[in-house]
Amino acid sequence: MKRIYLDHAATTPLDGDVSAAMMPYFSEQFGNPSSVHSYGREAQQAVDRARHMVADVFGCLSQEVIFTGSATESNNFAIQGVVRNAQKRGNPVHVITSSIEHESVTSPCKQMEREGVSVTYLPVSQDGFIDPTDVAQALTEHTVLVSVMYANNEIGTIQPISEISEIIQEHNLKTKSYKLKTVFHTDAAQAAYFLPCRVADLGVDLMTVSGHKAYGPKGTGVLYVKKNTELIPLIFGSGQEYGKRSGTENVPGIVGISTALAKAVADRDETGKRIIDLRDHLIARVCKEIPGASLNGSQKERLPGNANFLFRGTRSQDLLYMLDEEGVAASAGSACQSKALSYSHVLHALGLSEKDANASIRFSLGKDTTKKDIDSAVSILVKSIRKLQE
Ligand SMILES: *Cc1c(COP(=O)(O)O)cnc(C)c1O
């Protein structure tokens, strides 16, 4: 049985060139970058080169690139770091985020709430977009952080980051004389492979990316930290990463994520277009051939690889299991994160009922996905849904 992997939003395979770039740092080039001898210097040079590569991708200074252990860590660092820094002043602290963020943003926000911070969770439209005017309305003199994701992991919608940035910059200008600057963070974990991540164009102060969502290694992340943005570290120690993230550097991982991000920039025009065509072919076939099927989220302003469908009258867990038996790997979006909500908070935010949310499935295409993969997957899907509906 040929297996068809349509879960690239969960993780991507390691790119061959990325793997090759990493290999020497597992063996002969094993030095600790902090050591003064040549082993150490070679490792330090590799980390420096990697940092320059990422800085090129983001259009930022290399000192603004902080390597972390995951996008989850980057998001926690951004949120907890900004909040803790603001708390030093003793004023009330307010954070704005959206109702469709990844758990690695939502959970630290919930924790900050338990620690006395007030958090606004902005709603989204039925097709999955944040309205920048809602951000304008939510901003107060106590708002220290706005965190809005660049592209959603479940439904692939791309948020108007630069428009939101303009609103925050205006707010900062108006309140400059009497308050701490409102910092703007975006979680670009899903976006980094497909979309431009130039920080000046986006207008962000903090930006999270993940290695393994962009054909890089798992357990690697970056947080872009704009110069003069104050953050209290999560991890204290010997002062690596400009004192922002102590611990001996994951040299192979750092080489891996930087190679992957640079390669994404080089590849994305061509692969993005190809994947959009395949994705639209998938959407067209599914909506035509499966009665009652519909797309969750907008078809415009959507990540190239993402298609999330509602198959009315099915249960996604049953369907996923049947698909897997036929070799098709898909996903039911992310697991529930609060006990009160037994289904996807993202689909809930779109207004889907529990039943419909639990009848939804995400297919996420990657750079190796072929038309044949899509056609076989649709045939298997049609067959499985027929069986389920019997
Ligand atoms: C996968 C993902 C994360 C977490 O990334 P890790 O590197 O696995 O911690 C965060 N945000 C979004 C939007 C994601 O898709």
* Four-CA torsion 47, 48, 54, 57, nearest 10 degrees: -150
Q: Are residues 214 and 84 in the same domain?
A: yes
Instruction: Give the single-character DSSP code of 3.
Output: -
Q: Are residues 302 and 376 in the same domain?
A: yes
Rounded CA-CA distance 77/245 in Å is 9
Is residue 293 within 8 A of residue 286, CB to CB? The reply is: yes
Among protein residues, the one with the nearest Cα to ligand 1's atom 14 is 189
Q: Are residues 290 and 257 in the same domain?
A: no
Q: What percent of the chain has pLDDT over 90?
A: 93
Rounded CA-CA distance 84/232 in Å is 6
Rounded CA-CA distance 125/158 in Å is 13
Q: Are residues 165 and 254 in the same domain?
A: yes
The whole-number average pLDDT for the span 70-84 is: 98
Q: Is the CB of 146 under 6 A from ligand 1?
A: no
**Residues near 70 by beta carbon (within 8 Å), at least 6 away in sequence:** 104, 210, 219, 220, 221
Q: Ligand 1 pocket: which of 68, 109, 190 to mutate (most atoms <8 Å of CB)?
A: 190
Q: Please give the pLDDT value at position 303.
A: 97
Rounded CA-CA distance 287/210 in Å is 32
Q: Ligand 1 pocket: which of 12, 14, 72 to mutate (most atoms <8 Å of CB)?
A: 72
Q: Is the CB of 260 under 6 A from ligand 1?
A: no
Q: Please give the pLDDT value at position 178.
A: 86
Q: Please give the pLDDT value at position 342.
A: 73
Q: The CATH number of the domain where 95 resides is what?
A: 3.40.640.10
Count of domains forming the chain: 2
Q: Which of 17-21, 131-135, 307-311, 343-347 shows the lowest mean pLDDT across its residues?
A: 343-347
Q: Are residues 226 and 307 in the same domain?
A: no
Would you say residue 363 has pLDDT above 90? yes
Tokens 């106590």 sit on residue:
142
Rounded CA-CA distance 347/334 in Å is 10
Would you say residue 336 has pLDDT above 50? no
Distance 16 CA to ligand 1 centre (A): 22
Q: Ligand 1: which atom is nearest the Cα of residue 211?
A: 7
Is residue 50 within 8 A of residue 18, CB to CB? The reply is: no
Amino acid at 267: D
Q: Are residues 122 and 245 in the same domain?
A: yes
Rounded CA-CA distance 249/69 in Å is 10
Final residue in a domain of this structure, among 243, 263, 283: 263
**Residues near 94 by beta carbon (within 8 Å), at least 6 away in sequence:** 117, 118, 119, 120, 140, 142, 143, 144
Q: Ligand 1 pocket: which of 7, 100, 213, 306 to mutate (most atoms <8 Å of CB)?
A: 213
Q: Which among 221, 199, 203, 204 is positioned nearest to 212, based on CA atoms?
A: 221
Q: Please give the pLDDT value at position 130.
A: 98
Query: 0.85 exceeded by the pTM?
Result: yes
- Confidence label for 341 from pLDDT (cuts 50, 70 and 90): low
Per the annotation, the verdict on 336 as an active-site residue is yes
Q: Is the CB of 149 under 6 A from ligand 1?
A: yes
Q: Which residues pair with 362 in a beta bridge?
A: 308, 331
Q: Please give the pLDDT value at position 179.
A: 86
Final residue in a domain of this structure, among 263, 289, 311: 263
- Confidence label for 134 from pLDDT (cuts 50, 70 and 90): very high
Q: Is the CB of 223 under 6 A from ligand 1?
A: no
**Residues near 165 by beta carbon (within 8 Å), at least 6 away in sequence:** 184, 202, 203, 204
Q: Are residues 220 and 72 in the same domain?
A: yes
Q: Which domain holds residue 326?
A: 4-12+268-389
CA distances from 195 to 112, 153, 289 (A): 30, 14, 31
Final residue in a domain of this structure, among 263, 293, 322: 263
Q: Is the CB of 120 under 6 A from ligand 1?
A: no
- Confidence label for 334 from pLDDT (cuts 50, 70 and 90): low
Q: The CATH number of the domain where 375 resides is what?
A: 3.90.1150.10
